[in-house]
Amino acid sequence: ASILVLNGPNLNLLGVREPHIYGQATLADINQKLQQQAQAAGMTLETLQSNAEHILIERIQAALSDDTRFIIINPGAFTHTSVAIRDAFAAAAKPFIEVHISNVHAREAFRRHSYLSDIALGVICGLGVYGYEAALHRAIEYIQETGR
Ligand code: DQA
């Protein structure tokens, strides 16, 4: 079974970008930890970061016909703007968890709305980069429960 971890715009700058909000860990650090966690559970994990909406959409679409069982996504600012990413998830019909490092409800009002949350299996925010780990934990459990 394969788990896909997507990160949207500006998340390539983790560790550098507003560290008081997003912490010190880089995306490479995060992905390396997730790889170990997936490997220990005997699952394959693929990671992709893009600043481009269409790259994320095309990867979500590809999940229609590959072996992706579950998607974890931090959509970054596309969370608050992208009907197109929502539509891609609706088309792919794969369970996904939406992750935000920061507590989007404690920030600017425009971050409170997500185009994805109501069609997500779950949403994690405000737990820092631990949110990815928690999402992967649930993804592994979900795949084990529902069968590969
Ligand atoms: C974010 C929150 C978004 O509002 C923001 O645009 C991001 C990161 C987070 O992880 O907290 O880029 O998704």
- pLDDT, tens digit, 9 for 90 and up, residues 37-96: 999 999 999 999 999 999 999 999 999 999 999 999 999 999 999 999 999 999 999 999
- Establish whether 20 is a catalytic residue: no
Atom of ligand 1 nearest to the CA of 80: 4
Q: Is the pTM of this model over 0.95?
A: yes
Q: Tell me, yes or no, whether 10 lies in a domain.
A: no
Please give the residue range of the domain that contains residue 65. Answer: 32-78+85-101+121-137
- How many domains does the chain contain in total? 1
pLDDT at 45: 98
Residues 6+ away with beta carbon under 8 Å from 57: 84, 85, 88
As annotated, the binding site for substrate includes 74, 80, 87, 101-102, 111
Is 77's C-beta closer than 6 angstroms to any atom of ligand 1? yes
pLDDT of 41 reads: 96
In-domain check, residue 142: no
Strands 2-7 and 96-100, bridge-based pairing:
unpaired
Q: What ipTM was estimated for this complex?
A: 0.99
Residue 70 forms part of a structural domain: yes
> Is a pLDDT exceeding 80 seen at residue 9?
yes
DSSP secondary structure letters along 5-57: EEE-TTGGGTTTS-HHHH-S--HHHHHHHHHHHHHHTT-EEEEEE-S-HHHHH
What span, in angstroms and rounded, lies between the C-alpha atoms of 55 and 40? Answer: 29
On whether residue 39 sits in a domain, the answer given is yes
Q: Which of 10, 18, 74, 81 should be mutated for ligand 1, with most atoms under 8 A from CB?
A: 74
* CB of 111 shorter than 6 A to ligand 1: yes
Does 147 have pLDDT greater than 90? no
Q: From ligand 1's centre to the CA of 6, what distance in Å?
A: 13
pLDDT digits 0-9 by tens, 110-119: 999 999 999 9
Specify the CATH number for the domain of residue 95.
3.40.50.9100
What does the block give as tokens for 75?
A: 């959509």
Does a structural domain hold residue 22? no
Q: How many helices and strands (H and E) does the chain possess?
A: 5, 5
Q: Measured between alpha carbons, how far is 76 from 7 in angstroms, rounded to an integer?
A: 7
Q: List the residue whose alpha carbon is closest to atom 12 of ligand 1.
A: 76
pLDDT in tens, 16-52: 998 999 889 999 999 999 999 999 999 999 999 999 9
Higher pLDDT, 64 or 147: 64
54 classed as catalytic: no
CB 60 within 8 A of CB 71: yes
Options 20, 54, 100, 105, the catalytic residue: 100
Q: Does residue 50 lie in a domain region?
A: yes
- Residue 8 CA: nearest ligand 1 atom is 12
- 106 domain residue, yes or no: no
- Which class for 107: exposed (0-12), middle (13-18), buried (19 or more C-beta within 10 A)? middle
Q: How confident is the model at residue 148 (pLDDT cuts 50, 70, 90)?
A: low
In a domain, 2, yes or no: no
**Torsion sign across C-alpha atoms 104, 134, 91, 76:** positive
